[in-house]
């Protein structure tokens, strides 16, 4: 059972979400609602919920500022937002769940299924990742939250050497020689990291171009990374890859 509160300045949004939750999710018990950062903070402190549906933009501040005011975030957070496109990518970077308004039951169901698998860990750290992605100040310090079995790991994008797809999972390799298996597809990481100098060279391999050592013509094309790992290049990616390496590499 999730003891739940809804914090949103839009009364119609609160009402619609409450209706969906009460009519379709027996594991959700709604304890109360709030319409601002101030009233939301008071509600959380009074009721100690397990789950908070939290609007991002409110008249007296943001959902981020509300979380920052709390000494401890010991509940799961689902953001409700009218943002699209770039902001949704930001949520993926931070591994936060989100529901785009207007709220649809299928989106709520998918979110509830996901949060059942996620422990309450590092919420404030993930808020910082999300804020930096929404309003980046320094691309070199861009971070990403990687979901793991027992929580999340916050890593710098520039420390990622390459990603290798393993069906519905991806193994992420770092410059210090370590790796981690993450429950996201390689396509997810392709979409997230392409703006940071990463390139898909094969259906199973996504690489950081800054970590390429050399290109070998043998066997149709092979990329050797700085750690001496050799990876195959698919013919359909070969021409663009060579152009990137020869002319556009930063």
Backbone φ, ψ for residue 87 (5° rounding): -65, -35
82-115: pLDDT as tens digits = 765 545 555 555 556 778 888 889 989 988 887 7
Residue 85 neighbours by CB under 8 Å, 6+ apart: none
- Average pLDDT of the residues in 12-24: 95
147-175: pLDDT as tens digits = 766 666 778 889 999 999 988 889 999 99
Give the full edge-to-edge strand order of the sheet including 222-225. Answer: 212-216, 222-225, 230-232
Buried-state track 151-163, b at ≥16 Cβ within 10 A, e below 16? bbbebebbebbbb
pLDDT at 39 (0 to 100) = 96
d(CA 152, CA 148): 5
Query: Side-chain half-sphere of 50: how many Cα atoms within 13 Å?
Result: 12
pLDDT at 137 (0 to 100) = 52
- How are beta strands 97-100 and 76-81 bridged, if at all? parallel
Q: Please state which of the four CATH numbers 3.40.50.2300, 1.10.10.10, 2.30.110.10, 2.60.120.260 is assigned to the domain occupying 2-133.
A: 3.40.50.2300
* Domain regions of the chain by residue span: 2-133, 140-248
Beta carbons of 188 and 168 less than 8 angstroms apart: no
pLDDT at 250 (0 to 100) = 47
Report the share of the chain in percent with pLDDT over 90: 44
- Tell me the pLDDT band of 201, cut-offs 50, 70 and 90: very high
Asked which of 25-39, 119-133, 165-179 is least confident by mean pLDDT, the reply is 119-133
The CATH code of domain 140-248 reads 2.40.50.1020
């Amino acid at each position: 059972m999730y003891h739940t509160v809804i914090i949103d300045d839009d009364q119609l949004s609160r009402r619609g979400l409450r209706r969906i939750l009460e009519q379709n999710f027996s594991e959700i018990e709604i304890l109360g609602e709030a319409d601002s950062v101030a009233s939301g903070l008071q509600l959380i402190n009074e009721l100690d919920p397990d789950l908070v549906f939290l609007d991002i933009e409110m008249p007296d501040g943001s959902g981020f500022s509300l979380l920052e005011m709390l000494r401890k975030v010991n509940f799961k957070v689902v953001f409700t937002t009218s943002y699209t496109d770039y902001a949704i990518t930001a949520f993926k970077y931070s591994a936060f769940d989100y529901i785009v308004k207007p709220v649809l039951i299928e989106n709520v169901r998918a979110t509830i299924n996901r949060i059942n698998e996620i422990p309450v860990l590092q919420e404030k750290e993930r808020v910082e990742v999300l804020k930096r992605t929404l309003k980046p100040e320094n691309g070199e310090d861009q971070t990403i939250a990687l979901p793991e079995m027992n929580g999340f790991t916050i890593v710098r994008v520039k420390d990622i050497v390459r990603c290798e797809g393993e069906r519905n999972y991806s193994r992420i390799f770092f410059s210090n020689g370590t790796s981690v298996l993450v429950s996201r597809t390689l396509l997810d990481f392709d979409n997230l990291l392409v703006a940071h100098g990463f390139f898909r060279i094969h259906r199973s391999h996504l690489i950081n171009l800054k970590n390429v050592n050399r290109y070998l013509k043998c066997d149709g094309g092979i990329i050797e990374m700085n750690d001496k790992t050799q990876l195959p290049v698919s013919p359909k990616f070969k021409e663009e890859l060579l152009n990137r390496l020869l002319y556009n590499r930063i």
